[in-house]
Amino acid sequence: MPKVGIRDVAKLAGVSTGTVSRVLNDHPSVTTELRERVRGIIKELGYTPDPSARSMRSKVSRLIGIIIPDLTNPFFAELVQSTEQAAANHGYNIIVMTSFDQAAKEVNRIGQLTSRKVDGIILVPSNDFHTITPPKAVPIVVVDRLMPGYSGIAADHRNGARLGVEYLLKLGHRRIGFISGPTHSVPAKDRLRGYLDAMEHIESSQKIASAPLIAEAAFDYESGRSAGNYLLARARNERPTAIFTSSDQQAIGCMRAAHDLGIPIPAALSIVGFDGIPLSSMTTPRLTTVKQPIQKLAAAAVAALLNKQPARSTDSPVLFACELSEGETTSAPQPD
Amino acid sequence: MPKVGIRDVAKLAGVSTGTVSRVLNDHPSVTTELRERVRGIIKELGYTPDPSARSMRSKVSRLIGIIIPDLTNPFFAELVQSTEQAAANHGYNIIVMTSFDQAAKEVNRIGQLTSRKVDGIILVPSNDFHTITPPKAVPIVVVDRLMPGYSGIAADHRNGARLGVEYLLKLGHRRIGFISGPTHSVPAKDRLRGYLDAMEHIESSQKIASAPLIAEAAFDYESGRSAGNYLLARARNERPTAIFTSSDQQAIGCMRAAHDLGIPIPAALSIVGFDGIPLSSMTTPRLTTVKQPIQKLAAAAVAALLNKQPARSTDSPVLFACELSEGETTSAPQPD
DNA sequence: CGACGACAATGAACCGTTTCCACGTTCATT
DNA sequence: AATGAACGTGGAAACGGTTCATTGTCGTCG
């Protein structure tokens, strides 16, 4: 069965290949009637244009690349999934790559994608990603972990964190602990700022515990657990009545730490997470968390690439608001 | 800057384009000396061949598609990540798609990939995937959820489950409960068979509880929790002393159920999971689980596609052994 | 010593589209 | 009625590689 090409369609429809091509690309200058007829033939023959030939001539591959540090991280997994959806809505497909947080691998992958002539790259940079050779060949949009010099899209981590902390404040908490992410990471730093923003307002009016309220940790479960342990292992009137964490995994680890110390949640300790990964609604009790608008991020990233505003690199990044998802790990504080 | 093409390389090297092409493709009939010289020019010019043009003529895209039901599932996420690695080792990239377990979407995606002329498709079929039109156009290998008529690669779920149950038997357990996956799913059925295989040996020698030991459930956390609750909510001498589950998420849910019932783990209840997802080592206590050889699966799937053995479809599937990962959720049973 | 085969390398045809230019109509304008 | 702009369509070049038939060189064998 010789595969059917555009010429077959043209011949059968009694038109030129150019016209068929114009029909395929929804070019306006084709009679509606003729357009319909050609469409009919196309369907009849089961013709599908060859993407290679297409891309070779038109320089459009309908392919976008996405590079993330680690697909095992639920947040990134969901980001990729949402991106695939968003891309599909535009007739695009995605090539997924993992950098394992290694700058070298990342640069290599960007090169691969570039030579594949993808129409754009969505990049979640590795943490040791030092601004690399400006890859002007293909538009890049940086997601989540913003970088100067690149157009970026991210959740508003700072205000998101503030949102979470203010929620705790409104419940009546004053000694609010914070488990930070690694501060060499931009989002972690922003969340810390948000925490400080919110706490600033009470700092003056009410004197707070002298013991530390902030602990830096990696984003993972185990780090959250030990940081939680660090913050909670003191006399009751010294320890925080609530802890705001920088990731859901930290929060879950922190819940474990509290549990091991015999501190009931939410009765004696409120916990708020960050991210809103699926797992967060599966804990017991369900985690109160600040949810990142992952789908919006993905949609915006794809849109940014497709409208490929040129030289948008110096623009300020686009931020999307987070929203609070109330679970069962928060309540008003008990009196000391 | 006009982009450099194969003709530029040829001209500068003083050879024909054909020769350059042969150098690019490691064709044997080129003098070693000449090959080196051309390679030098290529590097000097920073030339990279255009994949579209390449693929158009040669019908090879160096692209493989992978369709999975849900990237949010950690098992699939890891599978995709491993596949990306394996593919990269062969100079291939992967296009990732999600079917959301919908057969219609799946068929649509297969069509997309086919018309993109990928060199192969790795498919984890949706559960309601009814054998579709034999897509002879591009080789497909089915992973994890085997299907008759397609060449398949999977973990040996049956023996894996038996392994887990036999471990519990060896510890001395006799009333071993089983949380099954949805039995319309092939792997779930296989795991159930493995459980039965192992239990068969003791069935005759020791009389077992009259109360049910098997509960069917979805693979997720919440289902595992309620199934665990179902199996455990009885008098102590009636309820199982160990539970083998069909997924780590079920196992974690089951741990939660046990905890809520005041049953200590592993003192009064041993639990073994299945899959070996990263989360399994982050629970407290760490989960004992039957680990699937995900990397091997991915590598084998990619290899199968690239060697594209024709008409391998009727072959029996290739199975890879699971291995037991001992955690802290198992111990010898207490006397009743 | 001539012929034949093996092997390197050449050059042009080819892959299947898109795009550009030219051409013939139609329609509004003067 | 003549002019010209606007429009729809046809035809062919172009995209950037790969491949194949062909040519040119040697070394070897009869």
Cα distance between residue B156 and residue B174, in whole Å: 24
**Residue type, position A197, single letter:** D
| Residue A127: predicted pLDDT | 78
Provide the greatest CA pair distance for chain B.
Answer: 88
- Contact residues on chain B for A255, CB-CB shorter than 8 A: none
Q: Do B84 and A74 touch (CB under 8 A)?
A: no
Instruction: Choose from B78, B93, B223 for mutation: most chain A CBs within 10 A.
Output: B93
pLDDT of residue B70: 93
Residues 49-88 of A with CB under 7 A from strand D: 53, 56-57
Three-state DSSP class for residue A290 = strand
Separation between the CA of B57 and the C1’ of C14 (whole angstroms): 8
Give B306's contacts (C-beta < 8 A, 6+ positions apart).
B90, B92, B119, B120
Q: Kindly list the residues of chain A whose beta carbon comes within 8 Å of any beta carbon in chain B.
A: 48-53, 55-56, 61, 63, 70-72, 74, 77-78, 80-81, 84-85, 88, 93-98, 112, 115-117, 220-222, 225, 249, 253, 256, 260, 278-279, 282, 284
Mutate to test the interface with B, among A61, A96, A275 (most CBs of B within 10 A): A96
**Confidence at residue B67, expressed as pLDDT on a 0 to 100 scale:** 97
Closest CA to A143 of A124, A156, A160: A124
Query: What is the total residue count of chain A?
Result: 336
The closest of B144, B139, B146, B143 to B118, measured between CA atoms, is B139
Query: Would you place residue B336 in the very low, low, confident or very high pLDDT band (cuts 50, 70, 90)?
Result: low
Stretch (H or E) spanning A18 = helix A17-24
- Given a contact cutoff of 8 angstroms between Cβ atoms, the answer to whether B225 and B237 are in contact is no
Within 10 angstroms of residue B38's Cβ, the number of other Cβ atoms is 23
For residues A226-249, one letter each, b for 16 or more C-beta atoms within 10 angstroms of the residue's C-beta and e for the rest, the string is: bbbbebbeeeeeebbbbbbbbbbb
| E strands present in chain B | 63-68, 93-98, 120-123, 140-143, 151-155, 176-180, 214-216, 242-245, 270-275, 288-291, 318-320, 323-325
Q: How far apart are CA B54 and CA A279, in angstroms?
A: 44
Which residue of chain B comes nearest to A285, CA vs CA? B256
Inter-chain contact A116–B81, Cβ cutoff 8 Å? Answer: no
Residue A58, nucleotide of least CA–C1' distance:
C18
Lowest mean pLDDT among A95-104, A310-319, B142-151: A310-319
Q: Does any strand D atom come closer than 7 Å to the Cβ of B18?
A: yes
The three-class DSSP label of residue B65 is strand
The helix-helix angle for B221-232 and B248-260 (nearest 10°) equals 50
Task: Find the angle CA(B80)-CA(B83)-CA(B86) to the nearest 5 degrees.
Answer: 160
Q: Which residues of A touch B136 (CB under 8 A)?
A: none
Q: Is the pLDDT of residue A53 over 90?
A: yes
The chain B residue lying nearest A220, using CA atoms, is B282
Q: Is the pLDDT of residue A192 over 50?
A: yes
Q: How far is the CA of A29 from the C1' of D13 (A)?
A: 21
- The reported pLDDT for the residue numbered A131 is 62
CA separation for the pair B184, A80 (Å, rounded): 28
Residue B162 tokens read as 């038996």
**Which residues touch A186 (CB under 8 Å, ≥6 apart)?**
A145, A146, A147
Contact across the interface for A81 and B72, Cβ inside 8 Å: yes
Asked if residue B18 keeps its beta carbon closer than 7 A to nucleic acid strand C, the reply is: yes
**Residue A135 tokens, joined:** 């890859």
Among B52, B75, B295, the strongest candidate for a mutation testing the A interface, having the largest count of A CBs within 10 A, is: B52
| Rounded Cα distance, B246 and B192, in Å | 8
Between the alpha carbon of residue A113 and those of residues A107, B144, B214, the distances in Å are 10, 29, 49
Please determine, for residue B109, whether its predicted confidence score (pLDDT) is greater than 70: yes
Cα B141-B147-B150 angle, rounded to 5 deg: 40
- For range B245-250, the mean pLDDT: 95
pLDDT per position as a tens digit, A125-173: 987 766 655 567 789 999 998 888 888 999 999 999 999 999 999 999 9
pLDDT band at B264 (very low <50, low <70, confident <90, very high): very high
Contact B154, B259 (CB under 8 A): no
Which phi and psi angles does A50 have, rounded to 5°? -80, 115
Chain B: nearest CA to A32, how far in angstroms? 26
pLDDT of B201 higher than 90: no
Q: What pLDDT was estimated at residue B311?
A: 43
| Confidence (pTM) | 0.90
**CA distance to partner chain B, nearest, from residue A7 (Å):** 16
Residues of chain A positioned with their CB less than 8 A from the CB of B49: 115
**Mean pLDDT of the A34-59 span:** 92
* Model pLDDT, residue B310: 47
Contact A99, A71 (CB under 8 A): no
**Which 8-state DSSP code applies to residue A148?**
T
Beta-bridge mates of residue A291: A275, A323
Question: B272 near B164, Cβ under 8 Å?
Answer: yes
pLDDT on residue B1: 60
Angle (CA) B187 B188 B193, round 5°: 95
Q: How confident is the model at residue A206 (pLDDT cuts 50, 70, 90)?
A: low
**Average pLDDT value for residue range A94-113:** 92
Please tell me the predicted confidence (pLDDT) of residue B211: 65
Mean pLDDT computed over every residue of chain A: 89
pLDDT of residue A246: 97
Look at residue B208 and tell me whether its pLDDT is greater than 80: no
What percent of chain B stands above pLDDT 90? 66
Inter-chain residue contact A52 with B70, CB threshold 8 Å: no
Which is it for strands B63-68 and B93-98: parallel, antiparallel or unpaired?
Answer: parallel
CA-wise closest residue to B258 among B177, B165, B150, B145: B177
The pLDDT-based confidence of A336 (bands split at 50, 70, 90) is low
**pLDDT score at A282:** 78
Q: Which residues pair with A271 in a beta bridge?
A: A243
Nearest CA in chain B to A60: B52
Residue in the block written with tokens 């948000």 = A194
Torsion of CA A124, A125, A126, A130, to 10 degrees: 180
Question: What are A277-290's pLDDT values in tens digits?
Answer: 988 887 878 999 99
pLDDT at A326: 95
Mean pLDDT of chain B: 89
DSSP B183-235: TTSHHHHHHHHHHHHHHHHHHTTS---SS--EEE--SSHHHHHHHHHHHHSS-
The one-character DSSP state at A280 is: G
Q: What angle do CA A30, A31, A37 make, to 5 degrees?
A: 100
| pLDDT band for position B332 (cuts 50, 70, 90) | very high
Q: Is the pLDDT of residue A247 over 70?
A: yes
Inter-chain contact B95–A97, Cβ cutoff 8 Å? no
Put simply, the answer to whether A72 touches B77 (Cβ < 8 Å) is yes
Of residues A243 and B221, more confidence is placed in A243
- Give mean pLDDT, residues B73-102: 95
Q: Residue A30 — pLDDT band, cuts 50, 70, 90?
A: confident
Predicted confidence (pLDDT) per residue in B167-181, tens digit: 999 999 999 999 999
Residues of A in contact with B93 (CB under 8 A): 95, 97, 112, 116
Q: Is the CB of B51 under 7 A from strand D?
A: no
